[in-house]
Amino acid sequence: MFIETTIVKRSAYVVSIASALVLAITAGAQDQLPSKGAVTTQLSEPQYSPYAGRNFPTQVFWGDTHLHTQVSVDAGTMTRLSQEDAFRFARGEQVTTTHGLEAKLSRPLDFIVISDHAEMYGLMPQLLAGDQEILSTEYGGRWYKNLTAGDPDLAFDTAMEIIASLSGDVPLIKNDKAIKNAWYEYAELADRYN
């Protein structure tokens, strides 16, 4: 492509010079030299270019602009994929899904936006890890027990209860320290994968 473009550009330049010489010879036949303006006009005429007139994107980027991980309360009740798993998957690495399947993209993404919910941010990984501060709350201990009991129906019902709690005015589990820790972990991770 570069060679073809260079040849086209050089050919166009040679044609322009040749045109200027023809103009000079014609003018010389009349005992006149071409004016500087005539030569400048000839050389400044638009030349052929394969990119002339293009008004559409020539470099397209592929990505995901809205992805939730286990850090979001809604997704975290049903998935165990972490934010790091999401970054790795977007880069084209193979990850293991929540249900044990191996997954890999056919080509890496150019960008990813991990858009986990702010409400109860980071609760699910801490809850499922048995964090004592979370388990000591009224709902934390019961949710942990239900989600880890091995009963799929109980886990589903508990997940729906947790998700429904997001529509309330006050989170059922409020732990600013846990949210702050989760946010710092994510910021460090995002920097590492940027």
Each residue's pLDDT tens digit, 133-191: 889 988 999 999 999 999 999 999 999 999 999 888 888 888 888 888 889 999 999 99
Q: Is the pLDDT of residue 55 over 80?
A: no
- Any domain includes 32: yes
- Any domain includes 136: yes
Same domain (yes/no): 77, 32:
no
- Any domain includes 146: yes
Each residue's pLDDT tens digit, 73-88: 888 888 889 999 999 9
Q: How far apart are CA 127 and CA 60, in angstroms?
A: 40
Query: What is each CA distance from 161 to 67, 83, 117, in whole angstroms?
Result: 22, 23, 16
Q: How far apart are CA 174 and CA 121, in angstroms?
A: 10
Each residue's pLDDT tens digit, 171-186: 888 888 888 888 999 9
Q: How far apart are CA 158 and CA 182, in angstroms?
A: 22
Which tokens is 110 given? 């150019």
Same domain (yes/no): 30, 124:
no
- Any domain includes 58: no
By DSSP bridging, strand 63-67 and strand 111-114 are parallel
Same domain (yes/no): 32, 77:
no
Q: Which domain holds residue 137?
A: 63-193
- Any domain includes 28: yes
Same domain (yes/no): 129, 172:
yes
Same domain (yes/no): 36, 92:
no
Please, are residues 34 and 24 in contact by the beta-carbon 8 Å criterion?
yes
**2 pLDDT band (50/70/90 cuts)?**
very low
Same domain (yes/no): 79, 28:
no
Q: Is the pLDDT of residue 31 over 80?
A: no
- Any domain includes 51: no
Same domain (yes/no): 25, 78:
no
At CB < 8 A and 24+ separation, what contacts does 156-160 make?
A: 158/77, 159/77, 159/78
**70 pLDDT band (50/70/90 cuts)?**
very high
Please, are residues 129 and 81 in contact by the beta-carbon 8 Å criterion?
no
Same domain (yes/no): 81, 173:
yes
Number of structural domains found in the chain: 2
Same domain (yes/no): 102, 150:
yes
Task: Work out the average pLDDT over 45-72.
Answer: 82
